[in-house]
C-alpha cells in the first residue's frame, strides 16, 4: 500500500484559511488522493478526492502538485467545527476495498 | 437518508467472553467494511464484505470474524476477548461494485468495546 506522510498536528485561527499538506512520493498513476476527517467521537467523514486536477467542493479544495507527489487540503475559512483529525489516503482506482489510514493531522482551531 | 447504523454504541465485556457487533449500511450499499481504532495503532482495516462474501481481510487473528446477510447488514464477532481488543469498532458502507471500484465510504459512529 502506498504511504502518505502528514504533519502530526497543526493549529489555526477561526475564519482563517488552513492548508493541510500531504506527501505521497510513491503514488502510482492509478491512485486517487482522498481526504477524510474524523471529528471527536465520530467515525471518519469523506471530505474530497482527486486524481490530477485541483478539485473544489462545498467543504474544501484539494490542490495536487503537478508531479502528484504531494497535495494540499485547503479549508478556506476554518470554523471551530473543523477541528478534527484529517487523513490523506491513496485509493487505487480499481480493487479499492479498504482504506489504509496513517496517523493523520490533528487540526486545532483557535477562537 | 439514514446513515450507517452501528449497535450497540457501548459495550463492556470480560476477558474470555465473545462479542457480536452489528452494522446496518446505507440503503443500496452492498459493500460493508469494518475497522478497529485504538490510540496506539490508529485505524486498521479488519475485513470487507460484498454480497455476503468476504473480499478482503486485514492482518488480524482468526478470533475476529464477520459475516454479511442478504440485506447487506453485517455483523462482526470477536471470540475469546483479550484486554487489547478494547477499541472503537467502526463500520463503513459503500456503493463499491462487483469489480471493487471505489465510490467512497460512509462510516458509522462506531461501537466502543471495553474489555475488563
pLDDT digits (tens, 9 = 90+) for B21-52: 999 999 999 999 999 999 989 999 999 999 99
Ranges of beta strands (E only) in chain A are 9-13, 18-23, 31-38, 45-50, 55-56, 61-64, 70-75, 84-92, 105-110
Please give the pLDDT value at position A55: 92
State pLDDT tens for residues A4-42: 999 999 999 999 999 999 999 999 888 899 999 999 989
Buried b or exposed e, range B6-20, using 16+ CB within 10 angstroms: beeeeeebeeeeebe
Per-residue model confidence as pLDDT tens digits over B37-91: 999 899 999 999 999 999 889 999 999 999 999 999 999 999 999 999 999 999 9
Terminal alpha carbon distance of chain B? 37
| pLDDT of res. B96 | 72
| CB pair distance less than 8 Å for B104 and A94 | no
How near does any CA of chain A get to the CA of B79, in Å?
23
The confidence band for B100, taking pLDDT boundaries of 50, 70 and 90, is low
Question: Predicted confidence band at A1 (pLDDT cuts at 50, 70, 90)?
Answer: low
Alpha carbon distance B70, B72 (integer Å): 5
φ, ψ for residue A82, nearest 5 deg: -85, -5
Strand-strand pairing, A70-75 and A61-64: antiparallel
Measured between CB atoms, does A53 come within 8 Å of chain B? no
Name which residue leads in pLDDT, B116 or A100. B116
- Does A94 score more than 80 pLDDT? no
- Per-residue confidence at A91, pLDDT binned at 50, 70, 90? confident
Instruction: Name the closest residue on chain B to residue A85, using Cα atoms.
Output: B42
Contact B15, B81 (CB under 8 A): yes
pLDDT band for position B104 (cuts 50, 70, 90): confident
> Does residue B12 have a pLDDT over 90?
yes
Cross-chain residue pair A102–B42, CB shorter than 8 Å? yes
pLDDT more than 70, % of chain A: 95
The Cα–Cα gap between B64 and B80 comes to 10
CB contact under 8 A, B106 and A46: yes
In this prediction, residues A85-105 reach a mean pLDDT of: 86
Amino acid at each position: 500500500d502506498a504511504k502518505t506522510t502528514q504533519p502530526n498536528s497543526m493549529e489555526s485561527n477561526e475564519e482563517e484559511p488552513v492548508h493541510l499538506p500531504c506527501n505521497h512520493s510513491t503514488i502510482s498513476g492509478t491512485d486517487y488522493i482522498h481526504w477524510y476527517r474524523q471529528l471527536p467521537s465520530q467515525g471518519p467523514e469523506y471530505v474530497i478526492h482527486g486524481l490530477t486536477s485541483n478539485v473544489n467542493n462545498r467543504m474544501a479544495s484539494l490542490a495536487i502538485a503537478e508531479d502528484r507527489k504531494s497535495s494540499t487540503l485547503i479549508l478556506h475559512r476554518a470554523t471551530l467545527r473543523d477541528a478534527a483529525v484529517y487523513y490523506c489516503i491513496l485509493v487505487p482506482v480499481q480493487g479499492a476495498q479498504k482504506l489504509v489510514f496513517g496517523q493523520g493531522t490533528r487540526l486545532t482551531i483557535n477562537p | 437518508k439514514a446513515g450507517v447504523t452501528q449497535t450497540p454504541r457501548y459495550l463492556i465485556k470480560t476477558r474470555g467472553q465473545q462479542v457480536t457487533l452489528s452494522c446496518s449500511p446505507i440503503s443500496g450499499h452492498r459493500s460493508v467494511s469494518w475497522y478497529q481504532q485504538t490510540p496506539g495503532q490508529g485505524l486498521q482495516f479488519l475485513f470487507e464484505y460484498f454480497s455476503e462474501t468476504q473480499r478482503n481481510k486485514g492482518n488480524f487473528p482468526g478470533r475476529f470474524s464477520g459475516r454479511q446477510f442478504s440485506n447487506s447488514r453485517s455483523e462482526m464477532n470477536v471470540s475469546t476477548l483479550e484486554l487489547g481488543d478494547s477499541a472503537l469498532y467502526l463500520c463503513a458502507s459503500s456503493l463499491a461494485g462487483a469489480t471493487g471500484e471505489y465510490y467512497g465510504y460512509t462510516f458509522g459512529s462506531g461501537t466502543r468495546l471495553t474489555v475488563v
